[in-house]
Structures are given as structure tokens and as C-alpha cells.
A and B are shown apart, each in its own frame.
Chain A
Amino acid sequence: MSVSGGTTTAMHLGPVLDQAAVVLATTVDAPRQARAFVRETLARWDWSSTEPAVLMVSEAVAETVLTADSARLVLTVHLHADRSIEVHVHDDDPTPATASPRHSDYTRRVLDDVADDWGVVRTEDDAGKIVWLRLAEPRRAELR
């Protein structure tokens, strides 16, 4: 993925009702740990149909593990007042991922398909970056 994926302006379309965060070492186990954390968090918020959210988070965390020069990442899930979620994957490498174009291309296709919107921004102190992903609650989106 690169900074041109999705829009580059962060974040939060509305008030944040609740949030949960976990710090993960950037190992091959991080995507599984991230999925478990997201399933648990969304279950606590009584979110319907968690698998699209789980897929986009696994995808973004795997990409961070493979491309970021960072020993750890911080995964934060925010619940907005409209029950949409915004996920942040924060690492300590300010360089946007550009290597391994084929893999990044598949990641981009999955995120384009699953997330309502997503992008990458540098942190304000320039010491890292945040991949952010937005998703409405599936069942409510269908009822709209």
C-alpha cells in the first residue's frame, strides 16, 4: 500500500464512543493476534458480522509486518457514534511501503474491496505512520 491508497486525510468522522488498543511485536504471529483482538473487541461492542473487519485488519497488519522497519505496532479500534469503526495500525517507520509491488497490489485490492475507506498518514512527529481503515457495521449498512 502507499500514501495514495484511499484518501490521505485522517480521521474520525464523528465522536468516538469507545476504543481499545493492543501493542503487538511485528512477527508473523501479529496478524493472528490482531484478528483475535478485533473479534473480541467487536463482540464486546455487540457488532454484527465481524469477518470483513477481521480481514481488513489482518491484511493491514501483515503488510506492516512485511514492510515496516519497526519492532512493534499499535493496533487501535475506535467505535464511532454511528457504530462505524475506524482501525489504526501505527508503526515506528515513517516510510510508506513501496517494496514488493505484487503483494502490495493484492493488499490494496482487498482493502479497496472490504474497507469503506482507508489510507496512510505520517504521524505528526514524523516518527512513524498510521494505516487507517474505516468500516460501517455491515447489518446496519444493509438496512439503510
Chain B
Amino acid sequence: VESLRIERAHQRVWLHGELDLAAFDDVLHTLAELDGQTILLDLAGVTFIDSTGLRTLMAARRDHAQLSVVNPSGVVVRLLDMTGTSELVLGEPKTNGAT
């Protein structure tokens, strides 16, 4: 049973479902295919996230300078608040001149 579905169109990636430990490799693998581009990671469809999902988001931010996390769903916002990581995850990407 797949608990997370990843959808991709141009530079936007949507996550639908449960963002947990099992999703780590799949999400980072999908993002690696877009390496070097501006990426919008859309979390409107995330119905569950725990701190391993948070770790995926932080790894994505670390690996991709031009990645923005957008449209966090209610459960995502609550977890970011709980862990004090809103700015780390949702903050603007650093502009480092790469295009």
C-alpha cells in the first residue's frame, strides 16, 4: 500500500498523502531529477506528517538551494509549529546567483 503519491509537472512537485519515514527516498529521488532548477514543493495534499517527514523536507531544502516549500496543509503547519521549524522549512530560498 502506497501511502504517498508524488506528482510532478514542470518545476512543481505535489505530495499527496502521508509523509513519513517510507517517503524519504522517493521524495529526494524525485527532487534529484530536477536538480539545479527552481522547484516548488507543494504540500497542500499532505494528510499526515511526523518528524521523519520533517527530516525529508529539511534534507530537500539542504540539497536544493532553489527549492521552496509551499501551501503547507494544516497538519504540516501544526508539526512545524510544534518543532519550531517553520522558518527553516518555509523560509525563502537563498539567492546564490545560480539560475
The interface of chain A, by Cβ under 8 A from chain B, is 28-32, 35, 51, 54-55, 58-59, 62, 65-66, 103, 106-107, 109-110, 113-114
Find chain B residues with CB under 8 A from A110 CB. 50-51, 79, 82-83
CB-CB nearest 4 A-B residue pairs: A106-B51, A28-B22, A58-B50, A113-B82
How would you classify the secondary structure of chain B's contact residues: helix, strand, loop or mixed? helix
- Chain B residue nearest in CB terms to A113: B82
**Chain A nearest CB, measured from B89 CB (Å):** 11
In whole angstroms, how far apart are the Cα atoms of A88 and B21 in the complex?
20
Q: Provide the B1-32 mask, 1 if CB < 8 A to any CB of A, else 0.
A: 10100000000000000101110100000000
Q: Please report the number of residue pairs spanning A and B whose Cβ atoms sit closer than 8 angstroms.
A: 56
Of A28, A103, A109, the residue contacting B82 (CB under 8 A) is: A109
Size of chain B's interface in residues, with CB distance under 8 A? 19
A31-B20, A31-B21, A66-B21 known; A54 and B48 CB under 8 Å?
Answer: yes
Find chain A residues with CB under 8 A from B50 CB. 31, 55, 58-59, 62, 110
A-B pairs with beta carbons under 8 Å apart, 19 shown: A28-B24, A31-B21, A31-B50, A31-B52, A32-B3, A32-B20, A54-B48, A58-B50, A59-B50, A62-B20, A62-B21, A62-B51, A103-B51, A106-B54, A106-B55, A106-B83, A109-B82, A110-B79, A113-B82
